[in-house]
Amino acid sequence: MINQNKTLSLSIMSGKGGVGKTNIVLNLGYALREAEQSSMLMDCDLGLANLDVLLGISPDKNLQDLLQTGVSAEDVLVPIEPDGGLDILPATSGVPELVEMDEDMQDIIIHKLTGMAGDYDFLILDLGAGISRTVLSFAALTQLRIMVVTPEPTSMTDSYAMIKVLSSQHKVRDFLILVNQAATRNEAKVTFERLAAACKNFLDITVTNLGYIRQDSTVIESVRHQTPLLKFAPNCPASKDIRALAKRLLRYREDNRDRISRRPILRDFPEM
Ligand SMILES: Nc1ncnc2c1ncn2[C@@H]1O[C@H](COP(=O)(O)OP(=O)(O)OP(=O)(O)O)[C@@H](O)[C@H]1O
Ligand SMILES: [Mg+2]
């Protein structure tokens, strides 16, 4: 029997740090909410949590409690909008012994989250940067992956390296590329095309273009005010681009619904 899931799970990841993942996760959640789609945002940065910082909240339970103790995902979830539709599963910083994920932790996450996540339209994972074992395991768990890349050469090479490792170690071959902090439309286009060409030529992987978000100083201001960009400045260029991103993602889900919904919300990829 074919198992169809309502929920779409996706990881937001990057090779290089500081490219804008956490801001994208949070504001994509808001943009999807505007489109009447509910999301659970999961902070998977076990070393440096920051979804809570962007919101100026200090949750008393977090992902580490979920992994270590008997609490359920429901006890750890923080609703961030009074009318619902957007909840956060926070992480915490500075617990070095928990920074690496092992197979037991992966099993607990799959077990405890799959049921809860099934109530939402989207489960969005905010990953730490780079190619640690933990990051790669999370990236391989979800149905889809968005690689955030900036036009900086180091961001492009690190993104390519991460795609290479995920494809060779975890058999993952589908990637959606989002260019963030593009100065112009053309710069975004060139960035995507360079990364896409490297993936095609050296890995035989065809990546999907999910568009771009403009460089916009309002993002920096919204971070300083600990207010999500879509609330802080709903009509600034980056807010408009994030809404367009949500629309493209919804269209992608429609166009690929059969293929995506047959996969479990969270699955265990074999390491090769
Ligand atoms: N579109 C944008 N325009 C201008 N600045 C941006 C944009 N996106 C992100 N930034 C800047 O980049 C900073 C880092 O963003 P963010 O914390 O979301 O990155 P990250 O990829 O989650 O970082 P980390 O790898 O440390 O988790 C923001 O505080 C903001 O100053
Ligand atoms: Mg982050």
Interatomic CA distance for residues 91 and 125, integer angstroms: 11
Q: How many domains does the chain contain in total?
A: 1
Residue 20 Cβ inside 6 Å of ligand 1? The answer reads: yes
In DSSP terms, 208 is beta-bridged to 176
Q: Domain containing 158: what range?
A: 8-261
CATH of the domain at 134: 3.40.50.300
Distance 50 CA to ligand 1 centre (A): 11
The model's pTM is 0.95
Residue with tokens 């009509």: 235
Residue 14 Cβ inside 6 Å of ligand 1? The answer reads: yes
Low-confidence spans in the chain with pLDDT less than 50: 1-2, 270-272
Domain assignment of residue 2, yes or no = no
Distance 179 CA to ligand 2 centre (A): 16
69-126 pLDDT per residue, tens: 888 888 899 999 999 999 999 987 666 555 577 788 888 888 888 888 999 999 999 9
User: Beta strands 78-79 and 208-214: pairing type?
Assistant: unpaired
Atom of ligand 1 at shortest range from CA of 126: 22
Distance 258 CA to ligand 2 centre (A): 31
Q: Provide the 3-class DSSP secondary structure of residue 213.
A: strand
Which pLDDT belongs to residue 271?
47
The torsion angles phi and psi of 271, rounded to 5 degrees, stand at -80, 140
Domain assignment of residue 44, yes or no = yes
Which pLDDT belongs to residue 177?
98
Domain assignment of residue 267, yes or no = no
